[in-house]
Chains A and B, each alone.
Chain A
């Protein structure tokens, strides 16, 4: 931008730039702003302000044009996003439509995205389970990927730090494989979930069924009230955005907090093209942005850059940040940038019925969703013919049903007087997948998107380990369901593409060795000390836990380190 004068350049200079405003970007922004850094937060999508921009949040079911069902034409035009469980009329405006940002599926991959301020933090399933050393030590113990450069003790205080601010509901279960945190009261299991927990405990003492831990304000603390949030009202309409701030989102929590410092400049409609690297200075100096309204190319400058674009887009930005020093993408001396991308194996579920406890039902809705079964397979030692294991969700519900077979008065009467049915139970697997060099994202050599940025090619796949694990999950759950007296047990192993789990991770992994990893133990680029990556791209392995809480902790920890290094003059 040679024609821009020095004043203009000064106006485009900040202390720090955060790329992305989702779960991890919101945290980076909050921490940087609180530490006094003038921070530019770049978001490729539109602004979404808390409450004001949740148009469907208080709509009744009959107010939706198609009663929340997506029209056929939209589904046909959007085969990818239509597969997402939350893509309905009430939240469709928060999802990226397929044609808005195309990509090339070298192997089937459902890339589910939310391009707006707050990103997918508006849409997430809000499950927040800590990792433990059983997870961080996994690659080293089982000989895959590379050793994590951190252990649980490094992250534990930061988990506590983010949990206190975000508000996490959970029970203190005392499980080393799923460490306890700074919890608000947990949402209790219902009577059949409790019954299942007890049955499992009797027969398989090493297997635990606990209340899922989730980012809901079951009982807000003063810090949450100070954020302008109040107790979760158990509406479980979270994907619409919550006017109560009942669950954690960047929009309700971190971004307003960052704004309050006066240090944040939020710039929506800003697609990041690349990170600018200065070879003389040996560091990144800024970020090149395409304004999506004007298509203008604008450079912004800062001493510190946090990349929080969400795993796959973070890879895209770094791969597209080419210079003489880094011809294959920023910080990519190792050649592993874009590789070892993995996900969670969500491709098996199991359903059944239960005819006990018929003198009980439930009332209301459970924001936590029910039970969580932490990984028990291969936990202490290798015991199966596959590596690692899976966590599982477990839920029981009892709905009211009507006989719909008749016509006329009978039918009307039946519809208006639904009767309690028997209990329905279900579980889904959350399997660890092993990151492989072949699981990768690359840039297309010729095709570009609306902003002139190369299209991303995604080639990520299941492997034999995933198939064995899936089989084991179905066998194990069938046994446990049978033992609990559940009937009509129905495994559902219909294939789903990687990506639909919305837990894509890796490509910019952390590690000890710059030859085999991109980031060090502080989420800092080995080769470019003022660039940090604290979203899903940094993940060395995937383990089984829902990963967002870990990204929050990484973000807060990395900002703390980065700012202290800046003060020491090391960055």
Chain B
């Protein structure tokens, strides 16, 4: 096998970030997760949800940028066990309630999630992590809200239209 192809198969680019892909073809998630149990179907659902959150336009959407994989990775590695539990618990409840093919209805449902519910707890984590992944994605940082490693001289009084 061509080495380059092999490497391509090992890594998946999520918002510019390479994540080790899962080697197991067992109906599980496509990336290696240590704590979260996410099935391929769950992952598909999270991908669709990422697209509803940040839809594809003339610029890439949530699924194009693999924001759902980024969310899974961050929840797996960076959230507390309590938050992981909230994430999974809320997700399992919410996915039964949503029909993602009707994106308007889904949006209305998501915007009206009640505070202090498991569903809201899940969606808050999903949304904030997806936004984090989006704003820190290679695409956005190179093309839209540009990050400069070398920002140029400091100017402490730049005139702007108030």
Contacts and interface: CB of A to CB of B under 8 A. Distances in A.
Chain A binding surface, main DSSP class: loop
A193 interface: yes
Given A72-B80, A408-B107, A415-B134, A188 B149 contact: no
Contact of B150 (A233, A359, A361, A415): A233
A193 B145 contact: no
Interface stretch (B2-10, B90-98, B135-143): B135-143
Most B C-beta atoms less than 10 A away, residue of A404, A409, A416: A416
A365 B107 CA distance: 38
B17 A360 contact: no
Contacts of B141: 60-62
A407 B149 contact: no
Contact of B161 (A71, A73, A359): A359
A233 B152 CA distance: 7
Interface stretch (B23-31, B40-48, B49-57): B49-57
B1 interface: no
Contacts of A72: 77-80
Contact of B136 (A62, A233, A359): A62
Contacts of A61: 136, 141, 147
A358 interface: yes
A359 B154 contact: no
Contacts of B117: none
A264 interface: no
B160 A407 contact: no
Given A62-B136, A235-B151, A415-B135, 9 more contacts: A63-B17, A65-B17, A70-B78, A72-B79, A362-B158, A406-B111, A407-B107, A412-B57, A415-B140
A402 to B, nearest CB: 9
A357 B47 CA distance: 43
Contacts of B57: 409, 412
A289 to B, nearest CB: 38
Nearest to A73: B77
Contacts of A408: 52-55, 103, 107
A66 B78 contact: yes
Given A363-B154, A364-B152, A365-B154, A62 B16 contact: yes
A418 to B, nearest CB: 6
Given A63-B17, A191-B157, A416 B145 contact: yes
Q: Which of B16, B138, B140, B151: most chain A CB closer than 10 A?
A: B151
Nearest to A191: B157
B12 interface: no
B65 to A, nearest CB: 10
A411 B54 contact: yes
A553 interface: no
Contacts of B53: 407-408, 411
Interface string A405-449: 011110110011010100000000000000000000000000000
26 contacts: A58-B149, A62-B15, A62-B17, A62-B141, A65-B17, A67-B74, A67-B132, A67-B136, A69-B74, A188-B156, A193-B156, A194-B156, A235-B149, A359-B162, A360-B160, A362-B155, A362-B156, A363-B152, A363-B158, A364-B154, A366-B154, A407-B53, A407-B110, A408-B103, A409-B55, A412-B61
Interface string A132-157: 00000000000000000000000000
Contacts of A65: 17, 77
Contact of B151 (A63, A71, A234, A418): A234
A554 interface: no
Contacts of A69: 74, 78
**What is the interface residue range for chain A against chain B?**
35 or more
Contacts of A66: 73-74, 77-78
B131 A415 contact: yes
A358 B110 CA distance: 35
A87 interface: no
Contacts of B138: 60, 62
A361 B160 contact: yes
Given A359-B160, A407-B111, A364 B153 contact: yes
10 smallest beta-carbon distances between A and B, as pairs = A190-B156, A359-B162, A62-B16, A364-B154, A191-B157, A358-B162, A71-B77, A363-B155, A364-B151, A62-B138
Nearest to A188: B156
A182 B160 CA distance: 36
A394 to B, nearest CB: 13
Interface string A183-212: 000011111011000000000000000000
B90 to A, nearest CB: 17
B102 to A, nearest CB: 13
**Could you say which of B149, B151, B154 has the most chain A C-beta atoms within 10 Å of its C-beta?**
B154
Contacts of A367: 154
Contacts of B131: 404, 415
A408 B154 CA distance: 35
Interface in A344-390: 358-367
A433 B61 CA distance: 54
Contact of A420 (B55, B145, B147, B160): B160
A359 B133 CA distance: 31
A416 to B, nearest CB: 5
A193 B80 CA distance: 39
Interface in A278-312: none
A541 B145 CA distance: 48
Contacts of A412: 54-55, 57, 61
Contact of A407 (B52, B80, B147, B152): B52
A366 B78 contact: no
Contacts of B140: 415-416
B159 interface: yes
Given A412-B55, A415-B134, A415-B135, A365 B151 contact: yes
Nearest to B13: A62
Interface string A465-480: 0000000000000000
